[in-house]
A and B are shown apart, each in its own frame.
Chain A
Amino acid sequence: MSDTHPEVHEERILWTELLWAFGVGIFIAASLSMIVFTALTRDINPPSNVERVDPKTLHLSGEFAEQNLGTSVGSDGSVTVRMIATQFMFAPRCIAVPQGRRVTLRFASPDVIHGLLITGTNVNTMVIPGFVAQVHTEFARTGDLLMPCHEYCGLGHSEMYATVQVMSQSDFIPEADGRVSCAKR
């Protein structure tokens, strides 16, 4: 390196590093702002729910007993879906949900770690034995959506999927006990 102006090189390198750090700082601030903005204005958050459930007695009583699984509409009009993810199926295999209404999805597993996503939506969660996985969402369009298990859970993993039937408001009519089942097609 030339002895005449080494300090010039040092200055240029420092300036370049500062410029890069400034650019990266702007990007980090912008992306964090976007995440906070959408969380506050559009209700888009990472699902976070810490709620314990005993996986050994899941099926015997409580909200995940067989008679309570599926879609139910509360007296206040809230829609809650309860499902069990087990090797190698979801119970029930089909759930009915209304279009354009807030839906609470609750999942539990009695055996191993499962995961699920609903195609075309942002619903994506793991189902860990011992915890209730809960996701809130709103379905924009009617139609049948695929809900596969996306966490390898054993040899039958690829056969583990369910169907989410999104119904229009007029078709989504609860029974007397508040339950809604998939339409026969």
Chain B
Amino acid sequence: MPVEQPSAASDSFEVADEVSETALADVLRVVPLGAGVLAGTMVALLVLGYLAVYLLVFLPRGPVG
């Protein structure tokens, strides 16, 4: 007689989330916007840092070549 194994479904932590397809689609629709804002902010900070060094440090140091 086979020994009865505990099912994953019997554990409350392992039960799949009950999310409807519509709710999932709604969440996925806003994710790219947040990622875009985050990436855009970080790249903008990087560009500002580059411009600050270029305009305030590199150019005032004079010609080179």
Give chain A nearest CB distance to B65 CB in angstroms.
4
Question: How many A-B Cβ pairs are below 8 Å?
Answer: 71
Q: Is B32 an interface residue (CB 8 A)?
A: yes
With contacts A16-B32, A16-B36, A34-B54 taken as known, whether A137 is within 8 angstroms of B63 at the C-beta atoms is yes
Is A54 close to B, CB under 8 A?
Answer: no
How many residues in B have their beta carbons less than 8 Å from beta carbons of A? 22
Q: Whose C-beta in chain A lies nearest to the C-beta of B22?
A: A2
Contact with A along B27-38 (1 / 0, CB 8 A): 011001100100
Q: Is A38's CB under 8 angstroms from B59's CB?
A: yes
Given contacts A2-B22, A34-B54, A122-B58, contact A47 B28 (CB under 8 A): no
| Chain B residues in 8 Å Cβ range of A138 | 62-63
Q: Is the interface of B mostly helix, strand, loop or mixed?
A: helix
Is there contact, CB below 8 Å, between A122 and B62?
A: yes
Rounded to whole angstroms, the CA-CA distance of A129 and B35 in the bound complex is 49
Top 6 A-B pairs ranked by shortest CB distance?
A45-B65, A2-B25, A122-B64, A43-B63, A122-B61, A137-B64
Residues of A near any B CB (own CB < 8 A): 1-3, 9, 12-13, 16, 19-20, 23, 27, 31, 34, 38-39, 42-47, 102, 120-124, 135-140
15 A-B contacts (beta carbon < 8 Å): A1-B25, A2-B25, A9-B25, A13-B32, A16-B33, A16-B36, A19-B36, A20-B39, A27-B43, A34-B54, A42-B59, A42-B63, A44-B64, A122-B62, A140-B62
